[in-house]
Structure 1
């Protein structure tokens, strides 16, 4: 059985007027397999479908191959994350 590709999630921007209630800052990165518990649950809830699509061979329209950009659902924060599939 082939190994699943690694997934890295990086906070790349913030659009809202308030800081993150979990303390995430631009530049923070998380390994999905080993650090997913450190990522805000609201952001993780949004990220998971994109992760599943990328990890199992799909692609996201209008995104570079192996990547997805998404926002957390907190309207006061609006953290912007990038997911990258890292082939191993």
Structure 2
């Protein structure tokens, strides 16, 4: 369980103002969140989910394919410069 003092310490670190009226509710909400996270952490992991629907990943070979000619790629870039896209420096 988290304490009021820990909530105030967290508020200082986060540069938040927590009024006295909000402190009790915030402490209870944070305790509930931490409790839920503990429940998830303690959950068993015995279930196997691999192949649950008899599906498997299908990977294809990475086969190189021919590219477009350099001139065609640079055609709309005004021809480029020395075979590369020309990028003008700003400033």
Q: TM-score, normalised by structure 1?
A: 0.24
Q: TM-score, normalised by structure 2?
A: 0.24
Higher-strand-fraction structure: 1
**Which structure carries more relative contact order (alpha carbon 8 Å, separation 6+)?**
1
